[in-house]
Amino acid sequence: MIPIRDTAPCYAKPLVTWSMIGVCVLIFITMYFMPEADSYRLLNLYGMVPMRYAHGWASYNGMSFDGYFSFISNLFLHSSWTHLLVNMWFLWIFADNVEDRMGRWRFLLFYLICGIFATALQWYFDPNLTIPVVGASGAIAGVLAAYFFLYPLERVIVWLPLFFLPIVIHVPAIAFLGLWILLQLYNATTSIVFDNITVNVAWWAHLGGFIAGSILYRHFLRKDYFQAQ
């Protein structure tokens, strides 16, 4: 199922959401047109390479300890056009309403905290990984969790790509996002139960972001939201 849009009304311009999308797209395009060696170096430098932090403050593979800065910077990097477009599309559909309910600065802080927790959980479950973990999906998972609890009965309009026919259905957000989190849980647990499974998606980061969002979202809500309508 491919989400097209949702039906929840938004009462303010989601400037933080638009800014996040703009920054991620700008960084990706800039790195895309760089020489491959420079782009690869930046991905390793600002992506979260778990093995980099295996020995605390010691350097790894020529990279000095960065104070865990990559736990934030990786949220703005993407590995491919598909990776970027899928993440930005989910952010575009679901984040505006969450930003509306939290306010801009609270939403920005919420987004970053969910992303940091998501990265940390991925690091915990895959500490020996030597390739960079990148992408906004962990932070976006936190946004999806907030949407799941704030707008459970709103409809998500999805396209079922069955033989490329224009089949469009309306699905309650609680069902669409519930199915999404079950898929993440299945893939995350499969990745640690079966050693011979090749994993190229940070499933634990998705779960980490969703867990953080589920726990924290209520503490970031605007208390004056309903009075402001």
User: Which residues are registered as beta bridge partners of 158?
Assistant: 3, 169
State the pTM of this model.
0.89
At 128, the amino acid letter reads N
Q: Give the pLDDT score at 197.
A: 45
Question: Phi and psi of 66, rounded to 5°?
Answer: -110, 15
According to CATH, the topology of domain 2-228 is Rhomboid-like fold (1.20.1540)
Place of tokens 């309910």: 101
What are the pLDDT digits (tens) for 114-135?
999 999 999 998 888 888 999 9
Q: Give CA–CA dist 21/92, Å, rounded.
A: 8
The ranges assigned to domains in the chain are 2-228
What are the pLDDT digits (tens) for 201-218?
677 888 899 999 999 999
